[in-house]
Amino acid sequence: MSYKTLENLRVLIVDDQRPFQLLLKGILYSMGATNIAFVLTGEQALWKCMHGSYDVLFVDYNLGSGKNGRQLLEDLREKKLLHPGAVYMIVTGENQVPMVVGAIEAEPDDYIIKPFSQSVLRTRLVKIQNRKKQLAPIYQAMFDDQPELVIEACKQEREQVGRYHSLCGRIQAETHLKLKQYDEAEALLSETLSFSRTNWALLLQARLCFEQERFDESMELCNEAIDTNRYFAEAYDLKARNLIAQGLMAEAMEVISQAIVISPFSVSRQNLVMDIARDMDDLASLVQASKQIYEITRRAARQEVVHLLNYIRTVIDAASRSEELNQRNKYQQEALMAIHRAKREDTVIRDFDFDLFETLCQARLESLSGQQYLAKKTFATVSDRVTAQMNPEIDPEKPDEVPPIPHCAADAVLLLNQIGEFEQASALTQKLQCLSGAIDPILEKLFSEQQHRSLSRQASFNEVNKQGIQFYKESNYEQALIRFEQALEIAPMNTGSALNYIQTAIQMMADPKRKKPLELAEKCRKTFRIVDNMPLPEHHKVRHQELLQQFNKLKEEKRYSR
């Protein structure tokens, strides 16, 4: 073992504690390191790596309010800033199970807990360096995203039956599964398991069985892996997926909850919780998992604004589905707090029209509070901006540039359905569905669920509105007016039904024999508020102007007053 383990290597220490930086620097100098850089935060480390290459990185797990050691590792891999031979070691005082398992799941090259001796660090580092050197062709092929070359390099290394035979078997089996080469994966895993029931082989074989819908076999393998290691969170994940596939949602929630206790910092695990909670109508778990996804990703490389938006949407959706007033109010307050916090703290919204999103959310919350007219009026202030999102201007100098995803148009659909503007919502939905990638999976589920819940409401509305139209055609205006009133009770802000009501009322007001014309005129005047100064489709706009003229003319002739 060389005493100068780190000679001629570029080293980066990422730790927010100055005393430990100096301590580690002394240890590394004794191991031959002379080129050492220091930073306090994950953000600074990312900047450093974007402007230079490092061979060894020692990173504290908990770096304060910014990126942690796991998130920094994910960022560096995402941006291809760790060369295949680089060593990434998480060095931390964290020894709680969620922190340790969460870090290990990110698969750094090593994880070492403070305090540690110089000899332990040197031994661990040399071990990693030897592995990186021996398996360089495999790591290079993985870095280059060339799975076929990964498999070939693994086969060559395994033929030598050296110390990395098992690791190469794991990498090869994982790559076969990634390529859906199930026969090759099964042969390799069966051979491995015949010699040793290692946890990685048990899990990969369980994954293979799951992909082939051999759920009972997959469950048995998951249970065996968990019996061997009760902190094997990935085995709990797969066991939960097997239970979901068999329709056993309560059991699946129990299992995935165990995984969350062990390691809550996985986006895929939290997404699994959301899927189960949605099926079980467990609003509390649904909101909590959505919030966790946002918190996990807000400091990561993929800090897409969609995670923030979906968290707020999920909370508002939970409020709309809560039967208890106190719980509904609690979710409404949570949504408002999340919006205000994002405006105050979150950099992810800088390149996004968050003001438009906030206005649409505000309108949805107003609707949930029974303020339907105010909700529609709020929407009227931003409808042109929503339309602009659906029809972005194309830069003539960049005709092939992909337009931004119209996130807020989706929120407009949710609002329009909520206040009963089904026709406008349907037209906007059709436009969204024509745009590839316009709706992400979570938003798609919110759409689908809202549509499912409103089917009976829409059916009732359509039925009474249709009856009203039929009565109107038969000149039975009394019954027509009753039906249009019923339609507006179901969908208070529906433009079409409001215009139908006004048209019928005008017919009745024009009849000189009609009793209580002033009362009818007042109802008609109030109904006009639903459409006056509101964004309307062209055919409704024309009809509204015609009816308004007729109404004003009647007022002059009959001298109706308020």
Q: Is 520 left (phi over 0), alpha (psi -120 to 50) or beta?
A: alpha
What Rg do the C-alpha atoms of the chain give, in angstroms? 31
At residue 13, φ and ψ (nearest 5 deg) are -105, 125
- 81-113 burial, b for 16+ CB within 10 Å, e for fewer? bbeebbbbbbbbebeeebbbbbbbbbebbbbbe
Let me know the angle formed at the C-alpha of 549 by 546 and 551, rounded to the nearest 5 degrees. Answer: 110
Give the integer Cα–Cα distance in Å for 309 and 405.
13
Average pLDDT over residues 401-409: 66
Structure confidence by residue, pLDDT tens digits, 518-543? 888 889 999 999 999 888 888 999 99
pLDDT at 345: 76
pLDDT at 560: 60
Average pLDDT over residues 446-452: 86
Residue 436 pLDDT more than 60? no
Cα–Cα nearest to 117, from 5, 8, 26: 26
pLDDT at 290: 96
Residue 509, class by beta-carbon neighbours within 10 Å (0-12 exposed, 13-18 middle, 19+ buried)? Answer: buried
% of the chain exceeding 70 in pLDDT? 94
Structure confidence by residue, pLDDT tens digits, 361-390? 999 999 999 999 999 999 999 998 888 877
Question: E strand or H helix at 346, and its extent?
Answer: none
Residue 1 pLDDT more than 90? no
For tokens 């039904």, name the residue.
497
Structure confidence by residue, pLDDT tens digits, 214-248? 999 999 999 999 999 999 999 999 999 999 999 99
pLDDT at 313: 96
pLDDT at 114: 85
Structure tokens at 484: 């249009």
Average pLDDT over residues 451-471: 92
The type of residue at 556 is E
Q: What is the pTM of this model?
A: 0.85
CB atoms closer than 10 angstroms to residue 132: 17
Question: Using the 8-state DSSP alphabet, how is residue 263 labeled?
Answer: -
Q: How far is CA 454 from the centre of its chain?
A: 23
Let me know the angle formed at the C-alpha of 68 by 62 and 74, rounded to the nearest 5 degrees. Answer: 145
Instruction: Give the three-class secondary structure for 374.
Output: helix
Average pLDDT over residues 392-412: 65
pLDDT at 402: 47
- Do 172 and 188 meet the contact criterion of CB atoms below 8 Å apart? yes
Structure confidence by residue, pLDDT tens digits, 297-318? 886 655 578 899 999 999 999 9
- Do 193 and 201 meet the contact criterion of CB atoms below 8 Å apart? yes
Q: Which one is predicted more confidently, 455 or 433?
A: 455
pLDDT at 400: 56
Residue 250 pLDDT more than 80? yes
